[in-house]
A and B are shown apart, each in its own frame.
Chain A
Amino acid sequence: MAGQLSIAKALNEALRKSLESDPKTVLMGEDIGKLGGVFRITDGLQKDFGEGRVIDTPLAESGIMGTAIGLALRGYRPVVEIQFDGFVYPAFDQIVSQLAKMHARSLGHVKMPVTVRIPYAGGIGAVEHHSESHEAYFAHTAGLKVVTPSNAHDAHWMLRQAIASDDPVIFLEPKRRYWDKGEVGDAADLPLHSARIVRPGADATLIAYGPMVKVCQEAAAAAEEDGRSLEVVDLRSLSPVDFAALEESVKRTGRGIVVHEAPVFLGMGAELAARLTERCFYHLEAPILRVGGYYAPYPPSRVEEAFLPDLDRVLDAVDRALAY
């Protein structure tokens, strides 16, 4: 399978492989059958695996999530597609009150191998409810794993690892990167919970995940022209966080900047900055800075550029960090 694939195709291949390797794996969601999902991530799968494995569900997210929990109780491995980020909230109660807690409540007797795939975040000029970054809600809930890939290789392997996991995984797909292509190798080179240094550097560490990894790589490339060496770490997993990798990098560079699309206030960056400050205090040359969305609803598409962190906002934060 190795070769250049778009993230969308890499995910499609991952679902196919998972369906092939485990007859208990089932896909569920709205429009995932004939249509192949609104982003075509499940394209062709119902044709090849049948309506019993790739299930077009009624239009009811709480229903989809709740029945997936029931199927998991019966020994199945459901992979649920939520059509867009903003439509997961009707299923939120099932996810945080039921799915996340079942293993703990049964003192480990019940496993919940459920994967919830959600195309998330903005940048595609969509209407309301189609650009939300809700990772903090899920990461805040113990019992869920939360992961998000940033490239085709990780998209493929992280999805396969997520489906194979016996714990529930919220699998966030950066929708504006679906069409980005990259090499997909034929093995997972990292465990699901690991962060990855995608660009080594010495002056500051940019910490990002999902759609913002590319922005940070571009910022690092631009900074290099000014003689600045930025390290870029792709978090990959938001729960658990690979703090060991972050700590090692930030101690080395002395500066950390967390970049995400979600509002900064009480976002992932708040947790990362607090812990890194606690753990790296004597190595820090500057406070850990955060770049992200504002404390406001995701705006109408004509002004989303002002809301989304871009290369300039990242470089501006780099300037501030280096000025200490």
Chain B
Amino acid sequence: MTVKSTARARKKAAPGVPDNLRAGSGSAPELVQLLTPEGDRVEHPDFPLTATPEELRGLYRDLVLVRRFDAEATSLQRQGELGLWASLLGQEAAQVGSGRAMRPGDYAFPTYREHGVAWCRDVDPLNLLGMFRGVNHGGWDPNEKNFHLYTIVIGAQALHATGYAMGITKDGADDAVIAYFGDGASSQGDVNEAFTFASVYNSPVVFFCQNNQWAISEPTTTQTRIPLYRRASGFGFPGVRVDGNDVLACLAVTRWALDHARSGNGPVLIEAFTYRMGAHTTSDDPTRYRLTEETEAWKAKDPILRLKAHLDKEGLADEAFFAEVEAASEALGLRVREGVRSMPDPDPTLIFDHVYAEPHAQVAEDRAEYIAYAASFEGGEHH
């Protein structure tokens, strides 16, 4: 599965930068892999995994449905139904693998792209779209499914996750936390401060970095000159690099890391080595900064095709199964489409509704002013 690094990526990397840092490479010996791009199972001594055919089919189903949801959201953005969309295309395995490794009591702190993790936490996909449609800033109750609100300020949630994990320790509970962030986010002070806190308080938090090779237009080499997973050792905890397009490896490594963390051994950093196949968001233009050859090379490592190849080779799923997944995917697409189109605009007084938990005189005054102003127009409507 060695892939040539592209000419431009080579030029960008200064001498002495390890090959495995370059966008387009994925051949590092330390990469944990349990399923090859051709769909063959391989063993890893540290991360054994026994998955029943049913579990494998379940993972396949997750991957397909998550991709479908994402594709639907992208087209809804193009149709003007969403203001923006951050696609997870290419990162399904990293998200479903790590998401399915969690126990119900575990807690996830996402960025803005973790639609696949939300899926595994059973968060209604329509909840994720409100913020991208512009009707709310999140809106769901994080404690209902142990899935925190999306965080747009890069890296901030790594500290929230760590604090939550510190609370778990204080409670003597048997749970763990996952903090998601990107390779770009690894440069932020907040993320590095989270590493420090988690390490010194031995907190049960797994830092799950999806290295999708790019932070908008900047390659990973603009953020780091050592492989990201090795950062962990400087903070005093283990780091593992996993094939982020291999759902089985992501599942096994994350399950191990969560157990490690919940058993009182402290944090773990997982670097899921993957690739963002689409644009950063729908307002980004990746042709300005990366080559199509690079994207093409990563296509060959597609997380869904490789699991499909495995199911086919081993005869673990029949036509009826694939037809059922296809039908479920169609139904999900329809539900999302209709759900978004019928999502109402909020009443403008929403602006004032939840600014404080307790009554606040200034908000009350501004609210009254707004209502009086809106009522001064014919029919009481502002516009």
Interface residues of A (CB under 8 A from B): 30-31, 33-36, 38, 56-60, 62-63, 86-87, 89-90, 125-129, 264-265, 294-297, 299-307, 312-313, 316
B355 within 8 Å of A by Cβ?
yes
For the complex, give the distance between the alpha carbons of A63 and B191 in Å: 13
Query: Do B350 and A33 touch (CB < 8 A)?
Result: no
Chain A residues contacting B285 (CB-CB under 8 Å) are: 35
A297 with B134, Cβ < 8 A, contacts A87-B153, A90-B188 known: no
For the complex, give the distance between the alpha carbons of A303 and B133 in Å: 11
Chain A interface, DSSP helix/strand/loop, else mixed = loop
**Would you list 21 pairs from A and B whose C-beta atoms are within 8 A, ordered by A residue?**
A30-B215, A30-B216, A30-B218, A31-B217, A35-B216, A58-B223, A59-B187, A63-B187, A87-B153, A87-B154, A90-B190, A127-B152, A129-B152, A294-B351, A296-B351, A300-B130, A300-B131, A305-B383, A306-B348, A306-B370, A307-B348
Residue of A nearest to B353 (CB): A296
Interface residues of B (CB under 8 A from A): 83-84, 130-137, 152-154, 184-185, 187-190, 215-218, 222-223, 283-285, 288-289, 345-348, 350-352, 355, 360, 362-363, 365-367, 369-370, 373-374, 376-377, 382-383
For the complex, give the distance between the alpha carbons of A125 and B283 in Å: 12
Query: Do A56 and B218 touch (CB < 8 A)?
Result: yes
Chain B residues contacting A295 (CB-CB under 8 Å) are: 355, 360, 362-363, 365-366
Chain A residues contacting B190 (CB-CB under 8 Å) are: 90
Chain A residues contacting B362 (CB-CB under 8 Å) are: 265, 295
Query: Do A300 and B135 touch (CB < 8 A)?
Result: yes
For the complex, give the distance between the alpha carbons of A58 and B220 in Å: 9
Chain A residues contacting B373 (CB-CB under 8 Å) are: 313, 316
Query: Do B153 and A316 touch (CB < 8 A)?
Result: no
Query: Do A302 and B345 touch (CB < 8 A)?
Result: yes
Chain B residues contacting A57 (CB-CB under 8 Å) are: 222
Instruction: Tell me which of A60, A301, A303 contacts B83 (CB under 8 A).
Output: A301
For the complex, give the distance between the alpha carbons of A87 and B348 in Å: 26
Interface centre among B217, B352, B362, B376 (most CB of A within 10 A): B217
- In order of increasing CB-CB distance, the 7 nearest A-B pairs are A301-B134, A306-B348, A35-B217, A58-B187, A59-B184, A294-B366, A60-B187
Query: Do B187 and A31 touch (CB < 8 A)?
Result: no
A294 with B352, Cβ < 8 A, contacts A56-B222, A303-B346, A306-B370 known: yes
Query: Do B217 and A300 touch (CB < 8 A)?
Result: no
Q: Nearest-CB distance from A178 to chain B (Å)?
A: 13
Query: Do B355 and A89 touch (CB < 8 A)?
Result: no
For the complex, give the distance between the alpha carbons of A324 and B37 in Å: 77
A62 with B215, Cβ < 8 A, contacts A89-B153, A127-B132 known: no
Query: Do B131 and A90 touch (CB < 8 A)?
Result: no
Q: Tally the A-B contacts, defined by beta carbons under 8 Å.
A: 128
Query: Do B84 and A38 touch (CB < 8 A)?
Result: no
Chain B residues contacting A303 (CB-CB under 8 Å) are: 345-348, 350-351
Interface centre among A35, A63, A126 (most CB of B within 10 A): A35
Chain A residues contacting B347 (CB-CB under 8 Å) are: 303
A126 with B184, Cβ < 8 A, contacts A59-B223, A302-B135, A306-B382 known: no
Query: Do A31 and B218 touch (CB < 8 A)?
Result: yes
For the complex, give the distance between the alpha carbons of A306 and B130 in Å: 18
Query: Do B134 and A302 touch (CB < 8 A)?
Result: yes
Chain A residues contacting B223 (CB-CB under 8 Å) are: 58-59
Query: Do A300 and B137 touch (CB < 8 A)?
Result: yes
Q: Nearest-CB distance from B263 to chain A (Å)?
A: 33
Instruction: Tell me which of A31, A127, A128, A306 contacts B351 (CB under 8 A).
Output: A306
Chain B residues contacting A307 (CB-CB under 8 Å) are: 348, 351
Residue of B nearest to A55 (CB): B222
Query: Do B376 and A316 touch (CB < 8 A)?
Result: yes
Chain A residues contacting B376 (CB-CB under 8 Å) are: 316
Query: Do B189 and A62 touch (CB < 8 A)?
Result: yes
Q: Nearest-CB distance from A158 to chain B (Å)?
A: 27
Chain B residues contacting A302 (CB-CB under 8 Å) are: 133-135, 345-346
For the complex, give the distance between the alpha carbons of A312 and B383 in Å: 10
Chain A residues contacting B187 (CB-CB under 8 Å) are: 58-60, 63
Chain A residues contacting B284 (CB-CB under 8 Å) are: 38
Query: Do B215 and A59 touch (CB < 8 A)?
Result: yes
Interface centre among A34, A297, A299, A302 (most CB of B within 10 A): A302
Chain A residues contacting B215 (CB-CB under 8 Å) are: 30, 59
Chain A residues contacting B382 (CB-CB under 8 Å) are: 305-306, 312
Q: Nearest-CB distance from A318 to chain B (Å)?
A: 14
Chain B residues contacting A129 (CB-CB under 8 Å) are: 152-153
Chain B residues contacting A316 (CB-CB under 8 Å) are: 373, 376
Instruction: Tell me which of A30, A58, A59, A127 contacts B84 (CB under 8 A).
Output: A127
Q: Nearest-CB distance from B346 to chain A (Å)?
A: 6
Chain B residues contacting A299 (CB-CB under 8 Å) are: 348, 350-351
Q: Nearest-CB distance from A224 to chain B (Å)?
A: 22
Query: Do B185 and A59 touch (CB < 8 A)?
Result: yes
Given contacts A31-B217, A295-B355, A306-B370, 12 further A-B contacts (CB under 8 A): A34-B217, A35-B288, A38-B216, A38-B283, A58-B222, A59-B154, A86-B153, A127-B152, A300-B131, A302-B345, A306-B348, A312-B382
For the complex, give the distance between the alpha carbons of A114 and B126 in Å: 44
Q: Nearest-CB distance from B165 to chain A (Å)?
A: 22
Chain A residues contacting B134 (CB-CB under 8 Å) are: 125, 127, 300-302, 304
